[in-house]
Amino acid sequence: MNITQTAKGENLLSIKISVEKADYQETVEKTLKQMRQRANVPGFRPGMVPMGMIKKMYGASAKMEALNTVVSDSLNKHIVDNKLDLLGYPLSDTELQQPADLEKEDDLDFYFEAALRPEINVDFTNTMVDFYHIVPTDEEVDKVVEDLQQRNPNTSHPETVGENDRLEMKVREAKDGKEVEGGFEKDGLYIHMDQIKDEGSRKQLIDKEVGSEFIINLAKAFGSEEAVTKVLGNDAPAASDYNIIIDDSIRDEKPELDEDFFKKVFPKEEIKDLEAFKKAVKAEMEKQHEAETDPILFNKMIDELVAAVKFELPDAFMKRWLMDNSQGKITAEDIEKNYEKDYVKGLRWQLIEDSIVKANPELIIKDEEVKDFVLKQIFPGIDYATLEDDMKANLDKIAANYLKDEQQVNGLRNQLADIKMTAFLKGKMNINYTETTAADFVKKLEEERKSK
C-alpha cells in the first residue's frame, strides 16, 4: 500500500491511497470463510457449500467490505501520523476518482480531498464595536428602592389585629354557636386581612387580641363559598360557621431608609446615607442591565471578528461537506443559494473561536465549572465555599442528579462557553459605549433591526 499527499489549493489537500491485492486479500478470505459457515444453500449441509460457489455469490461484497476497512483505517492513520488539523472529514475526490471493476481489478487507487484548518491570527487591537451602556434614571432607581422596601419589610407581632395584618389561626367547624364534635378542623391556617371582603367581618376581626376565640361565617367573610373551599380545602363544609382561635398577628411595615435597612439589602457594604444607598442600587441595576444585554453585545463582537479576521476557506469543498453532513436534508442548490448568508458566518466564527480557545486554555469549560453553574442556577446567592461539609455533600448530590442528562450538560457547557467568551472579548476588543436609558436602548435595537 502506498499513500501520497499533495497540495490541491489553498488549505486543500489531495490524498491518494494505492491498494494492492495483498493489502486486503487475507481479510477477504476470512470474510468468505465466515460467510461459508453461515450460508444456507439448498442441497448443501451448513458449512459444506463449495468455496467457489461462495466466492461467486459473495466475493464482490466481501472484497468491497475489505477495501472499505483497509482504506478507512489507512486514511485515519495517515491523518494521525501526519498530524493533519482538518476541517470536517475527507471526502472522495470526484475529479480524480475513477470507476473500478472490482471483479477484474485487484490493484486500486482511491482519491480523497481534505480541507486543512487555516492559520488564524486574531488581532483584537484593530477591532471596534459600538454598543450602549444603560444608565438607570432617578425615577427608575426610586422605584427599585420602593420595591426593596416592599420586599424587605419590618415584621412585628402586635397583640391586637390590624387592618393589614396576616393572621395565623385555628378553625373549627361550628353550629348554633358551638364547635361540632368530630367536625372539620384545621390548624396553622394563614390568611391576610385583604382576603376578608365583608366589611362587617373585617370589623369583627380588627382590634381582636391574639388568643381571641369567636364564631364567624367564613363564606360571608371571604365573599363566597368557593373562596372558603380554596382557603380551607375541598373537605371543608363551605356553608358552615367556624370557631376561630387567633394564634398570631403578623404585621409587615415599610422600613425606614436607615442604616439597618441599608445593611439588610447590602450586608457586605458600609452604607451610611440614602445618597450612597441609591448609588449602590444604581450600580446593581447597571450590572443587571449589562448581564441582560451581553448576549446582544456578544453577537456584535462576533460580527466584528468575522469581518476583521481574514483567512481563506476552501468554499467548494465546504459546500460538498455541508451537503454530505446534512444526511440528505438539504440539496446542493440550497447550499449554493444560502452559503454566504447562512453558513459562512457560523463556520468562520467557529474557526475563530477555536483559535482563541486554543491560545487561551482558561476558556475551556471544566466539569467543576458546570457543577458550580448548576448550583448557582438552583440555589442563587449561596456561597458554596462557606458551607459545612454535610451541606456541600447534599448540594453535590443534587447537582450530580441534574447532570445525568447528557443533552442538558452539553447545553450548560455551551451556555458557559458563551458567558466566558463574552467576558474575554469584552476585555480584549475595543468597545465604544454610548450611555442610554433602558427605554431608548429598546428603541435603538428596533431601529437597527429595521435597517438591516
25-36 residue pLDDT tens: 888 888 888 888
> Which residue, among 379, 348, 352, 374, has the nearest Cα to 363 in the 3D structure?
352
CB 143 within 8 A of CB 447: no
pLDDT (mean) for 144-164: 95
Which stretches of 159-222 are DSSP H helices? 199-205, 218-222
Is pLDDT at 176 greater than 80 in this prediction?
A: yes
> Which residue, among 26, 3, 27, has the nearest Cα to 15 in the 3D structure?
3
Residue at 367: amino acid letter: D
- CB-based contacts of 70, cutoff 8 Å, min separation 6: 1, 19, 23, 24, 27
Is pLDDT at 300 greater than 90 in this prediction?
A: yes
C-alpha cell, 418:
458563551
Residue 111 confidence class, pLDDT cut points 50, 70, 90: very high
Q: Considering the entire predicted model, what is its pTM?
A: 0.77
CB 66 within 8 A of CB 108: no
Contacts 24+ apart (CB under 8 A), 93-100: 93/14, 96/14, 96/16
Distance CA 72, CA 66 (A): 10
Q: What is the mean pLDDT of the chain?
A: 91
CB 421 within 8 A of CB 353: yes
CB 57 within 8 A of CB 32: no
Pairing of strands 431-436, 185-192: unpaired
Distance CA 366, CA 384 (A): 17
356-385 residue pLDDT tens: 999 999 999 998 888 888 888 777 777 777
Res 281: pLDDT: 97
> Which residue, among 115, 406, 415, has the nearest Cα to 294 in the 3D structure?
415
CB 90 within 8 A of CB 317: no
Domains, in order of start, for the chain: 2-116 (3.30.70.1050), 154-253 (3.10.50.40)
Residue 220: phi and psi, rounded to 5, are -70, -45
Q: Residues 199-218, buried b or exposed e (16+ Cβ, 10 A)? A: eebeebbeebebeeeebbbb
385-441 residue pLDDT tens: 777 888 888 888 888 887 888 888 888 899 999 999 999 999 999 999 999 999 999
222-272 residue pLDDT tens: 999 999 999 999 999 988 899 999 999 999 999 999 999 999 999 989 999
